[in-house]
């Protein structure tokens, strides 16, 4: 399932608690573009594009949503990526495309 969804990215490295330098987003090894790494709802990681696009511009196989993990705190504690399946979004509804849809190797 992870390979079909494109959720094969390595997890984000854990930051050193003593390191106070700015953490840059990772870059795609294929095209060099910035990507966002998020855990999925089935314990894998996926590389997502840095922008949201309307659902009409993203093929169904590449549509993801970022969802907050439910908890009792009003502060978002963690966000997971969930594939958009079942009910199709409205054409103008924003979705986050998988990076592999936008990846153009150099």
Single out the residue of 91, 4, 73, 87 nearest to residue 40, CA to CA: 4
Residue 1 reports pLDDT greater than 90: no
Q: Are 64 and 46 in contact (CB under 8 A)?
A: yes
User: In this prediction, what percent of the chain has a pLDDT beyond 70?
Assistant: 89
Single out the residue of 89, 43, 94, 24 nearest to residue 66, CA to CA: 94
Instruction: Classify residue 51 as exposed, middle or buried by CB count within 10 Å of its CB (0-12, 13-18, 19+).
Output: exposed
Q: Could you tell me which residue, 17 or 34, shows the higher pLDDT? A: 34
- The SS3 call for residue 87 is coil
Q: Could you report the per-residue pLDDT of 27-79, keeping only the tens digit for each? A: 888 899 999 998 888 888 899 999 999 999 999 999 999 988 877 766 556 88
């Amino acid at each position: 399932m992870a390979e079909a969804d494109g959720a094969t990215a390595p997890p984000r490295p854990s930051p050193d608690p003593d390191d106070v330098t700015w953490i840059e987003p990772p870059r795609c090894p294929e095209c060099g573009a910035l990507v966002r790494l998020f855990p999925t709802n089935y314990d894998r990681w996926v590389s997502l594009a840095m922008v949201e696009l309307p659902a009409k511009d993203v093929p169904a196989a590449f549509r993801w949503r970022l969802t907050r993990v439910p908890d009792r705190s009003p502060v978002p504690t963690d966000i997971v990526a969930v594939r958009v399946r079942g009910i199709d979004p409205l054409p103008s509804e924003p979705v986050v495309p998988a990076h592999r849809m936008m990846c153009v190797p150099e």
